[in-house]
Amino acid sequence: MSNTTNNDGLSNTAGNTSTAVNSVDRAAANKQVNVLEVKDLSVEFTTRHGTLKALNEVSFTIAAGEVVGVVGESGAGKSLTGAAIIGLLEPPGRISGGKILLAGRRIDQLSDDQMRQIRGREIGAIFQDPLTSLNPLYTVGHQLTETIVTHLPLSWSQGRNRAIELLEATGIPAARERIDHYPHQFSGGMRQRVVIALALAAEPKLIVADEPTTALDVSIQAQIIELLKKLCREQGTAVMLITHDMGVIAETADRVVVMYAGRIAEVGKVRDIIHAPRHPYTVGLMGSIPSVHEHVERLVQIDGTMPRLNAIPQGCAFNPRCTKVMDRCKVERPELQALESSQVACWLYPEGKNNER
Amino acid sequence: MRAALLKFWGSDLAWSWRHTPVAIVATALLLVLLIAAFGADALAPHNPFDLATINLIDALKPPVWHAEGTSEYLLGTDSQGRDLLSALMYGMRVSLLIGLAAVVGAMFLGIVLGLISGYAGGRIDALIMRIADIQLSFPAILIALLIDGVARAVVPGNMHEVIAFPVLVGAIALAGWPQYARTVRGSTLVEKNREYVQAARVIGISSPVIMFRHVLPNVLGPVLVLATVHLATAIITEATLSFLGVGVPPTSPSLGTLIRIGNDFLFSGEWWITIFPGAALVLLVLSVNLLGDWLRDALNPRLS
Amino acid sequence: MSADRVEVGRPSVEAAAASPPLIEVKNAARWFDVSSPWLERVLSRKPRTVLRAVDGVSFSIRKGETLALVGESGCGKSTIARLLVGLYPLTHGSITFDGQPLSNMQGRKGLALRKRLQMIFQDPYASLNPRWRVGRIIAEPMLAHTQLSAAEREQRVSDLLTQVGLDPSDESRYPHQFSGGQRQRISIARALAVNPEFLVCDEPTSALDVSVQAQVLNIMKDLQRRLGLTYLFISHNLAVVHHVADRVGVMYLGRIVEIANRDALFTTPQHPYTRLLLAAIPDLTGQGKSRTPVAGEVPNPLNPPLGCTFHPRCPHAREQCKTEAPVMQNFKGIQVACHGVVQGWEML
């Protein structure tokens, strides 16, 4: 089983001979069907004050075995994207346009029942708060076994054995005894491991992880990230990692999707995004992260704040805060254009040409 | 004033009201009853307390839609010849006044004690809550009866009528404060540990000021809902006490008194003397309860 | 009262070293009694349980400098913050501010002391009273400490709002109309209202997005330079600490394990816990170096290990570590509590 991963953003996982998919043209030529394909997804909220567009034509893909990080700040819409994919959008939110394809099959228009079958079996979910992800009234073993037998053709005792294997694989000591413990008997980091086990129990094709390490201490974060990487590599599971923590992305992701105000600003390999960002927002974002290696007097600061949903500027949503704003930006909204191995939605790079002054 | 009203009309609460049919109906009903009650002096067709206008000949007349009814007494008369509709309106006024006064009293007492209990903690908290617990284990009626009985025993006979109202209000209020205190105490315990309270302490603000200026505005929400429910309860409690004969004096009968008086005639055919006051009581309490339900749901934090 | 003091440059290291420290904490401890109720204890024969949130901590802060305290959850750094502003009384030990003991914080005399130290809290959503207007929130310290007229207060509120990068007209709005970063700025404005000398900042940017954090950190540094403020900066984020601190203290389970100048701590950390913390930071430079995860988790603070509380997770622990708790000692210009470091064990 080849498990080499180097942080250049390329990953070779078991059974996957293709490299990470990047530009739009290559995707079409790729024989591999993408595990996840999101096309022009739009999500709206209808309130008594009017209809708010929370996601505005978001498009990206995730290939099998790939880890794609979705970054953005609060209000950018990354959690919403995750919720829409898993099918857990709360009303008054609803998908108002576009499509979501899981392994080539359309899932955004399925009924609740059909979605429920997909959830767990084909898509696993990991959320931020391990406390609320687990039912406090049932033992960990019960919840795991239940998930397994619901989605796989196994008996309860077979499922239970598999649950013990999973717990051991996630590094929980004395799994055979602890399987009958309740969630409150585990510490935060241990609980998150159980949640990971739960998400991977039915061997899904895709895991959607929404801020899986934000609530954990930094030393535990490292453990959990390692675990997630290892297990997903072994099973060839694709991961959609939603977070605002660039550090976690730097270590884990192959590609990064940067979101701003419900739209995608830039998509690219993790190294490009961190070291050679194109979109002015991404540039500002990377510059504002303090580093332990060098000391600066002042951090790069993007003036202003992300616009609220009911006050998104015309044209490019970032234009009021952009240091390189042009007249065109205030009127026309830029679309994602392929640029070498990245995609950028910015008038500095129209039609894939580098026009940066 | 006008600007404030307009702002209120545009608020989420008003919007919710406009879109909840039950709330609109309940408000309309309550308004009708309130106008009838507090406008009794002007609106009632007769004055049932003016002995000069009462005619014994008109006793036990049925409502207007009966063969023997007259349009002079729309809902009929009682055994004394008093117009039931007028008696009803005055009776509602009495019931509402006592109910509202009791609620205000209980609210005031409960909020203050609840705030102190939650903020101070320790022994004071334990003491106040134990008193509240003990009181809650007695039915409200019993407490009211107790206080009423003690008052009657203590106060000389000729003063009874004068003190009847304050004693009644006090009794119902004393029976009701623990609910407010508990609710406020719970919210205070939560707010006490929030950082804006800590910030005030760091600044050096004194405890009473923190309690009443910082914490109080933030714990009032559930109190409002409680008050509407309590109003209904208070009115019923008063009605029960009057029905039992230990409530308001007979010179200013409340709905409860009227129900009691009419009870004797229920099975001899003059049903209207007890049914109409009963119906009025039900409608009053129902509209208050429905409004309270709507308010509780409307005030619940929702996704924006 | 003018909004700005005369421009005070940060004191040089030498000058600062010569003056006595502004804050001096000696062996401070804060224990919480978390025992079950009396009856339950009697019936199940359990002893009293005491949580030693802060268990003998000593440090000093000089005027104009920023001392950062880092650690993971349960290490006691938030408790220390609250001890320093008088929100909790000390169980034992002493804290002095400019020579005066902090236990004097109650009453009239305490008010004068309180004026000189203020606090900024972590949660921008809970640290402002949601029912008060912003102007009133910022003016509150002035009401408690000064005799300014209403007009003077209003002027000062405007000045403060401008200083933190907001608009003076914001004073009539409510907190919920602002974003997290803006609310933190309002918190800062409130903290500066009566010209304090010392600010305790309890994770002021942990709840903020990274670009907003940059704004707030920049403002805090500007203000420190202009007003000559002294900061105690609490955080769990080592990168942020690296950006703001002059000196850094690392805490573990209620004790400080290492205090050093920023550069010394980040380039040559001595204590094994410091090293492991630094190794656990995600590496944005993408050198391809995988993090070495720290083994184990922080133990239950109610039942800390004997001896050195870090020994179960320490790769270099020896017998001495399991029985004898190390004390803070000076070692090559830093202070550290570790047998191995002080005795020169081989710990690479």
Closest CA–CA distance from residue B212 to any residue of chain C (Å): 12
Q: Which residues of A touch C209 (CB under 8 A)?
A: 73-74, 244
Q: What is the pLDDT of residue A10?
A: 38
Cβ–Cβ of C277/A218 closer than 8 Å? yes
Cβ–Cβ of C122/B195 closer than 8 Å? yes
The structure tokens 């470091």 sit at C341
Q: What is the pLDDT of residue A303?
A: 85
Residue C108 — very low, low, confident or very high, per pLDDT cuts 50/70/90? low
Q: What does the pLDDT look like over B39-75, one tens digit per residue? A: 878 777 777 777 777 777 777 878 777 777 777 778 8
Cβ–Cβ of A48/B15 closer than 8 Å? yes
Q: What is the 8-class DSSP label of residue B215?
A: I
Q: What is the pLDDT of residue B294?
A: 86
Is residue B260's pLDDT more than 60? yes
Asked if A199 and A266 sit in the same domain, the reply is no
Is residue C234's pLDDT more than 80? yes
Asked if A103 and A178 sit in the same domain, the reply is no
| Residues paired with residue C230 on neighbouring β-strands, in sequence order | C198
Please give the structure tokens belonging to residue B28: 């309309």
- Position A103 in a domain: yes
Residue C105 — very low, low, confident or very high, per pLDDT cuts 50/70/90? low
Q: What is the pLDDT of residue B189?
A: 93
Asked if A24 and A118 sit in the same domain, the reply is yes
- Position A111 in a domain: yes
Q: Are strands A255-260 and A238-243 parallel, antiparallel or unpaired?
A: unpaired
Residue C7 — very low, low, confident or very high, per pLDDT cuts 50/70/90? very low
Residue A170 domain boundaries:
135-203
- CATH number, domain with residue A239: 3.40.50.300
Q: What is the pLDDT of residue A354?
A: 59
Domains and CATH numbers, chain B: 13-41+84-299 (1.10.3720.10)
Asked if A112 and A142 sit in the same domain, the reply is no
**pTM of the shown model:** 0.81
Q: What does the pLDDT look like over A124-140, one tens digit per residue? A: 899 887 777 888 899 99
Q: Which residues of C touch B198 (CB under 8 A)?
A: 82, 87, 119, 121, 127
Angle at A81 between CA A75 and CA A85, to 5 degrees: 160
For chain B, the average pLDDT equals: 84
Asked if A245 and A113 sit in the same domain, the reply is yes
Q: What is the pLDDT of residue A18?
A: 40
Q: Which of C267, C228, C266, C276 is nearest to C245 (CA)?
A: C266
Closest CA–CA distance from residue C125 to any residue of chain B (Å): 9
Mean pLDDT of C103-126: 82
Asked if A36 and A184 sit in the same domain, the reply is no
Q: Could you give the C-alpha distances from C156 to C178, C185, C322, in angstroms and in order?
A: 20, 15, 57
ipTM above 0.85, yes or no: no
Which of B203, B207, B210, B215 should one mutate to test binding to chain C, selecting the residue with the greatest count of C CBs within 10 A?
Answer: B203
Q: What does the pLDDT look like over A180-204, one tens digit per residue? A: 999 888 888 888 889 988 888 888 8
Domains and CATH numbers, chain C: 13-116+196-298 (3.40.50.300)
Q: Are strands A263-269 and C23-33 parallel, antiparallel or unpaired?
A: unpaired
Q: Which of A278, A299, A320 is the last residue of a domain?
A: A299
Asked if A186 and A248 sit in the same domain, the reply is no
Which of C97, C133, C140 should one mutate to test binding to chain B, selecting the residue with the greatest count of B CBs within 10 A?
Answer: C140
- Position A345 in a domain: no
Does any CB of chain A come closer than 8 Å to the CB of residue B302?
no
- Position A325 in a domain: no
Q: Which of A284, A299, A314 is the last residue of a domain?
A: A299
Does any CB of chain B come closer than 8 Å to the CB of residue A47?
yes
Closest CA–CA distance from residue A108 to any residue of chain C (Å): 30
- Position A311 in a domain: no
Asked if A142 and A179 sit in the same domain, the reply is yes
Q: Which of A270, A299, A328 is the last residue of a domain?
A: A299
Please give the structure tokens belonging to residue A92: 């008054």
For chain C, the average pLDDT equals: 85
Closest CA–CA distance from residue C8 to any residue of chain B (Å): 25
**Total structural domains in chain A?**
2
In a 3-state reduction of DSSP, which class is residue A54?
Answer: strand
Which residue of B lies nearest to A309 if distances are taken between CA atoms? B304
Q: What does the pLDDT look like over A282-307, one tens digit per residue? A: 999 998 888 888 888 888 888 888 88
Among the residue ranges A10-19, A29-38, A95-104, C289-298, the one predicted with the least confidence is A10-19
Residue C107, C-beta contacts closer than 8 angstroms, at least 6 positions apart: none
Asked if A166 and A113 sit in the same domain, the reply is no
What is the biggest distance separating any 2 CA atoms in chain A, rounded to whole angstroms?
66
Is residue A353's pLDDT more than 80? no
Cβ–Cβ of C179/A226 closer than 8 Å? no
Residue B114 — very low, low, confident or very high, per pLDDT cuts 50/70/90? very high
Asked if A105 and A216 sit in the same domain, the reply is yes
- Position A175 in a domain: yes
- Position A31 in a domain: yes
- Position A332 in a domain: no
Q: What is the 8-class DSSP label of residue C346?
A: -
Asked if A160 and A248 sit in the same domain, the reply is no
In a 3-state reduction of DSSP, which class is residue A209?
Answer: strand
Please give the structure tokens belonging to residue A278: 């194109």
Other CB atoms within a 10 A radius of the CB of residue B32 amount to 12
Higher per-residue pLDDT: B5 or C216: C216
Angle between helices B84-120 and B21-38 (to 10 degrees): 110
Residue A32 — very low, low, confident or very high, per pLDDT cuts 50/70/90? low
C85 vs B202, B205, B217: nearest CB: B202
pLDDT above 70: percentage of residues in chain A: 89
Asked if A86 and A142 sit in the same domain, the reply is no
Higher per-residue pLDDT: C12 or B158: B158
Cβ–Cβ of A271/C286 closer than 8 Å? yes
Is residue A21's pLDDT more than 50? no
- Chains meeting A at 3+ CB pairs closer than 8 A? B, C
Residue B207 — very low, low, confident or very high, per pLDDT cuts 50/70/90? confident
